[in-house]
Structure 1
Amino acid sequence: MTLKIDEYDFDFSLPRIEKKVGNSHQDFEVSTNANLSFKEAAIRRDFTINAIGYDYFKNEILDPFGGMNDLKNKIIKHIDDKTFVEDSLRVYRSVQFVSRFEFEIDENTKILCKKIVSSGELKFLPKERVFEELKKLFLKSKKPSLGLNLLKEFNIMNIEQNLEEIDNLAFILKDKNYDDFRKLYLFYSCLCKGMNEDETYSFIKNLTDDKKFIKNILILNETNLTNDIKILKRLSLKLKLEDLIVLNQASKNQISLEVFEILKSLDILNTPIKPLVLGKDLIKIGFFPSERFKEILDFAFDLQIEDDLSKSNIIKKITQQYKF
């Protein structure tokens, strides 16, 4: 059970014993036992800093594995060799903890993580669970590069390029009122910079099946920022142009400030350009709804973008080009 207070999540569970019975992340036999001591119950926790308790009645901290000392020294350390390796998701959890809290990982814990990776156990993890751990890495870290470097050291992801840009992006996004979905596809777009379309698709598809998420990343990574107003107007129909601005700011591309002002003046920073001529305008001047409407409206939109014509002049061109 999870209790949320403000931005904090508090998890509650009964003391339990778990036994791994298969390869899947869910292949555990679980039995609750209210008579377990705190130490017996906590030994199956992942890290010492997550095995600190509080006895309300005695008003004392319960710390059987030295978690308080590791917390003070900023160390991510596993509790028990045998139980730690039974849950391979803990490799990703250690990575996101290192990144979020800017802690060091204990050398013995690092050795166990590498052992899990080399055993091939990670392939049995549901990609949704992996995606959630990486989501925490990106959205809750000031320096996601810390975790990404550890993923490289563990031979999980060979990420070398773009690490500085990703940290720059984290700094920029902390002041943006974007939802998590948007922030996350921006991080992955930055992460995949330099990959071709097939490589990007394959990389992201291994983490999520969300078609909109994948599409946003592919579009961003095939699009270059420009100060050409006509191109920008058309691009506004495909993506939120502020996304391009933010990614270019992260890479310290100087053109981003100039383009930002252009987009603000055109009011297409986060919304597509609005067509001046609509179907109701064609009906008003005498056209009957037909299959030609799309062709005529496309013609009108081209005039709006390419020739920067006013609505009245576009309608005039339509009446010259098309018969009622």
Structure 2
Amino acid sequence: MGRGRHRRCNPSQRHKDGKRPYRVQALPVKTIKEDLRRRDFTINSVAFDIRNEKIVDPFNGLKDLKMGIIKATDKRTFVEDPLRLMRAVQFASRFEFGVEKNTKYLMSSNAQGLREITGERILDELHKITSKKGNTEIAFDLIDETDIDLALFGSKLRHNHLGQLDDLSFFYVLCKNGSVNPDRFYKDRLRGDRDFTKELEVLDKVMKIDLENIAEEELRFEIFNAIKRAPRFTRSHLLNPRVDDIVSKMRKNQIPSKMADIAIDGNVIEEKLGIEGKKIGQVLDLVKRDSLMGRVDWRDTDKLLAHIEMFK
């Protein structure tokens, strides 16, 4: 092999978010061992010599793979590309591997390098943890133990052991434990997409509801409106049992989860009852509340019209 792939940063160039664009450049290498030394971890520093039909494993990657160990191939691995810190977390959580002691030290020593990495690259590694069924507890522990949290949030995680989390809950807990606003951090630092940002925002609002002092009707109304904005939050593992019970009733079609479930709309109200303007919105709110509380058969248009007539 004559050329290898190596990450280098050009300090004179920056993205619009101020982060340096670590670029992959092809650099000349003299031997396959030199090329393998430039890989991130020993488990990825294994090759096959086609000419001699033998495995080339100068850093005992196969042994580490068998033992379930993440080990840096070279002491400069995290200097050459700090994103490798996130790759270590991703691999450890996905395969439930341990991280070798000296590699943890190297991660902690170079964690601040993540400040120079663009949010999109960090986000990609974080998403792989949940999309590929990684162990989120391992991810939280490693982020804490290697000071990645300090690099990302400027503070240590307040780690709560919550067990395995779905993707939305994982990002929510990660940000809340890092003392940052979840949706703003996801959007501004990680450059995440608009839909997931909205899901985080809605989940945050639902989690802040004062469940000890809110009436059942108001809670059902809040959840109904939240689902309209971002329905995915209902799959979060973090939901309080009261909220989860309401969501369960909606899934079982015991109460409506969206306005389309209710057998009436503004046009019908205007046509059949002669109600117009802002009054229609007020009537629809009444219908939603009474449907959610089971005070009217929300599947029957005639019964809904008769119910509205009672309050005209």
Taking structure 1 as the reference length, what is the TM-score of the superposition?
0.71
RMSD: 3.7
Of residues 194, 200, 203 in structure 1, which corresponds to 2:182? 200
Shift in Å at residue 112 of structure 1? 1.9
Shift in Å at residue 258 of structure 1? 5.5
Cα separation, 2, equivalents of 1:191 and 1:21: 28
Specify every segment of 5 or more residues in structure 1 that has no aligned partner in the other structure, as ranges.
1-12, 170-182
Query: CA 1:107/1:265 → structure 2, altered by over 3 Å: closer, same or farther?
Result: closer
Paired residue type of 1:231: L
Cα separation, 2, equivalents of 1:61 and 1:168: 37
Question: What's the counterpart of residue 35 of structure 2?
Answer: 41
Question: What's the counterpart of residue 238 of structure 2?
Answer: 247
Shift in Å at residue 290 of structure 1? 5.1
User: Does the CA-based 8 Å contact 1:46-1:78 persist in structure 2?
Assistant: yes
Paired residue type of 1:243: T
User: Does the CA-based 8 Å contact 2:129-2:136 persist in structure 1?
Assistant: yes
User: Does the CA-based 8 Å contact 1:85-1:116 persist in structure 2?
Assistant: yes
Cα separation, 2, equivalents of 1:113 and 1:195: 19
1:139 partnered with 2:131: yes
Shift in Å at residue 52 of structure 1? 0.9
Paired residue type of 2:140: L
Paired residue type of 2:25: V
Of residues 246, 249, 258 in structure 2, which corresponds to 1:272? 258
Per-residue displacement from partner, 1:111-146 (whole Å, max 9, x unpaired)? Answer: 2222212xx322110011111111222333553222
Query: CA 1:51/1:38 → structure 2, altered by over 3 Å: closer, same or farther?
Result: same
Cα separation, 2, equivalents of 1:237 and 1:114: 44
Query: CA 1:190/1:19 → structure 2, altered by over 3 Å: closer, same or farther?
Result: closer
Shift in Å at residue 50 of structure 1? 0.4
Cα separation, 1, equivalents of 2:121 and 2:141: 20
Per-residue displacement from partner, 1:191-250 (whole Å, max 9, x unpaired)? Answer: 456788x743454343334333233223223325799467335513312488267334xx
Question: What's the counterpart of residue 285 of structure 1?
Answer: 272
1:22 partnered with 2:14: no
Paired residue type of 2:128: K
Shift in Å at residue 303 of structure 1? 4.1
Cα separation, 2, equivalents of 1:245 and 1:195: 19
User: Does the CA-based 8 Å contact 2:2-2:30 persist in structure 1?
Assistant: no
User: Does the CA-based 8 Å contact 2:86-2:125 persist in structure 1?
Assistant: yes
Query: CA 1:64/1:267 → structure 2, altered by over 3 Å: closer, same or farther?
Result: farther
Identity of aligned residues (%): 26
Paired residue type of 2:250: L
Paired residue type of 1:204: Y
Query: CA 1:207/1:242 → structure 2, altered by over 3 Å: closer, same or farther?
Result: closer
Query: CA 1:97/1:227 → structure 2, altered by over 3 Å: closer, same or farther?
Result: farther
Say how many residue pairs are matched: 286
Shift in Å at residue 44 of structure 1? 1.4
Shift in Å at residue 98 of structure 1? 1.8
Question: What's the counterpart of residue 160 of structure 2?
Answer: 162
Question: What's the counterpart of residue 100 of structure 1?
Answer: 94
